[in-house]
Structure 1
Amino acid sequence: MAQGVREQVSAEEWALRVNLAAAYRLVALYGWDDLVFTHISARVPGPEDHFLINPYGFMFEEITASSLVKIDLQGRKVMDSPHPVNPAGFTIHSAIHAARHDIQCVMHTHSLNGVAVSAQKDGVLPISQQSLFVLSSLAYHDYEGVALNEDEKPRLVRDLGDKVFYMLRNHGLLTLGNTIADAFLQMYIFEAACMIQVRAQAGGGELIPIAKPILEGIQKQVQMVTRGLGGALAWPGLLRKLDRVNPGYAD
């Protein structure tokens, strides 16, 4: 009998796989997925630069811990898997993972609200409480076409700097997290800020910007309210929700 994936990896990697598969399914549950496109990647514990990513062609709601594919920084498989990967889709992720060893997870979406705001010249506006959390650590990167060009990587890294919210102009949203839970919570807030902005603009009335002193003090408030935007607070509840509506991610 062939050995299962769980028996081939460490306990730490298996736990990472379970959380990453859950994140994929939660992205689908909240409607941020784009069929089989976009990716969430996570660094595998250990000295090697190895990462987990979705099997290309799977819907996000189908992904399991065992189906995730382990790859290197070039997008090549480093563990046997019957599933294909999309090395070109890993271009953005590999650039960020190579430069930001402080983060474990990179989450990228093409949500309609996110793309809509990314196409606006002024980007995220300070018009909601959610937007303030985003603006406390937000970077922008101008569109250079479909992200397949290796030459774009240095500019992706330069524009990101040390931020954890990243708006790719005319393209979508990206978050970085010390954990998968952190990256997910940050994407939830990012998406909410964009949705609120699009709806507020659609109302046609004059928008009320939040006062600059409040914006300047938001970083300290973030630490107080969300423990530094730590996803650990919300993650157990999200997993319970997923267990009710779409179980099986831990297979």
Structure 2
Amino acid sequence: MSAILDQITAAARKEHRFDPRTEPRESIYQPAQPDLMFPGRPRFDDVTQERQYLKERLAGACRAFARQGFDYGFAGHLTIRDPERPELYWTNPMCVHFRQVKVSNLILVDHKGKVIEGDHAVNRAGFVLHAAVHEAHPDILAMCHAHTTYGTAFAALGQPLAPISQDAAAFFEDHVVINDEAGQVAVEEDAGPKVADWFTGVKAAIHQNHGLFTASRHSIEAAAFWFIALERCCQQELMVRATGVSPKLVPAEKSRYSREHVGSEYIGWLHFQTIWNDLVRSEPDLFD
């Protein structure tokens, strides 16, 4: 690794001390007391450093998916826009296990599916769906999809997630159920736009007979954490349904309150920092 990348990686691992006197508070969870260690997003003057930062987080998100057991053969794709060329996006390479994804084997792809940088091929289904969403929604920076056990099972119901808990309330009125192209593998390019339209103003989608998607206008970390959270909520609802007892739902106004405080893009990013900090220390090869 070059000296400049060594410096970038060192900066990525540096602990941040939050100062409410000079930094805007995005959430009530940020400390009011100055100089306490608390995660913070760096500001970049150099696009090369920003690109390296985003690629590290994308590789970390793939490793997080591996830890969750979200692998299923070559299925599953995570994307983040390039900071200099937003019409291009970085994604995980085809047929490389989430656990083996690292900065050096990520690929840069355009909206036509052409690999601009990198040695690996792009996942065809990932290109068809993600490229369509990125192209239709310039505000969406990152997306995640994987063929998970509980999310796929829940998607067969063709129903939205119920607010059965505080965690599930984070998705209240902030996800959709997509019926278009349900159950048909998305390998033809005309399938992408049919699905892309559904992502307006929401952070998650349940694609009937397929599985889960998350989209973020904030960061790859937020998209990754909300995917992990959505899979967990699907598992919990399936478990509750299996009892045969109707659950007590969180009322709409309380669900909206919880979503505001624990369901934002920032909170998703903040949740992911706990995963990131452990990855940095236990899987440093992701920086290779």
TM-score bracket for the superposition, by shorter chain length? 0.7 to 0.9
Matched, 1:164 2:172: no
Measured in 2, the distance between the counterparts of 1:15 and 1:221 equals: 31
Measured in 2, the distance between the counterparts of 1:28 and 1:57 equals: 14
TM-score (norm 1): 0.88
Matched, 1:90 2:127: yes
The one-character-per-residue Cα deviations of 1:190-249 (angstroms, maximum 9, x if unpaired) are: 11210101111222333223334434xx1x433334555533322332112223443311
Q: Is the 8 Å Cα contact of residues 133 and 197 (structure 2) preserved in structure 1?
A: no
Matched, 1:60 2:112: no
Q: Is the 8 Å Cα contact of residues 203 and 214 (structure 2) preserved in structure 1?
A: yes
Counterpart of 1:76, as a letter, is K
Unmatched runs of 5 consecutive residues or more in structure 1: none
CA 90–228 in structure 1, closer or farther in 2 if over 3 Å, else same:
closer
- Worse overlay, 141-150 or 57-66: 141-150
Matched, 1:18 2:56: yes
1:221 to 258, 267, 272: 258
The one-character-per-residue Cα deviations of 1:114-145 (angstroms, maximum 9, x if unpaired) are: 01111114331222222211123111211050
- Worse overlay, 12-21 or 84-93: 84-93
Measured in 2, the distance between the counterparts of 1:54 and 1:22 equals: 11
The one-character-per-residue Cα deviations of 1:52-101 (angstroms, maximum 9, x if unpaired) are: 1111110000000110011111111112x322222343111011100111
SS for the counterpart of 1:32 is: coil
Among all aligned residue pairs of Structure 1 and Structure 2, give the percentage whose two residues are the same amino acid.
Answer: 26
CA 30–67 in structure 1, closer or farther in 2 if over 3 Å, else same:
same
Following superposition, the deviation at residue 161 of structure 1 comes to 2.1
Q: Which residue of 1 aligns with 2:231?
A: 191
Q: Is the 8 Å Cα contact of residues 93 and 106 (structure 2) preserved in structure 1?
A: yes
Measured in 2, the distance between the counterparts of 1:227 and 1:162 equals: 12
CA 125–48 in structure 1, closer or farther in 2 if over 3 Å, else same:
closer
Counterpart of 1:235, as a letter, is F
Measured in 1, the distance between the counterparts of 2:84 and 2:253 equals: 43
Q: Which residue of 1 aligns with 2:169?
A: 132
- Give the aligned length: 243
TM-score (norm 2): 0.77
Matched, 1:27 2:65: yes
Following superposition, the deviation at residue 45 of structure 1 comes to 0.6
Measured in 2, the distance between the counterparts of 1:250 and 1:120 equals: 40
Counterpart of 2:232, as a letter, is A
- Worse overlay, 120-129 or 51-60: 120-129
Q: Which residue of 2 aligns with 1:71?
A: 109
Q: Which residue of 1 aligns with 2:77?
A: 39
Question: Could you say what the CA RMSD is over the residues aligned between the two structures, in angstroms?
Answer: 2.3
Q: Which residue of 1 aligns with 2:222?
A: 182
Following superposition, the deviation at residue 37 of structure 1 comes to 1.2
Measured in 1, the distance between the counterparts of 2:152 and 2:234 equals: 9
Following superposition, the deviation at residue 163 of structure 1 comes to 1.1
Q: Which residue of 2 aligns with 1:108?
A: 145
Q: Which residue of 2 aligns with 1:246?
A: 283
Measured in 2, the distance between the counterparts of 1:37 and 1:120 equals: 21
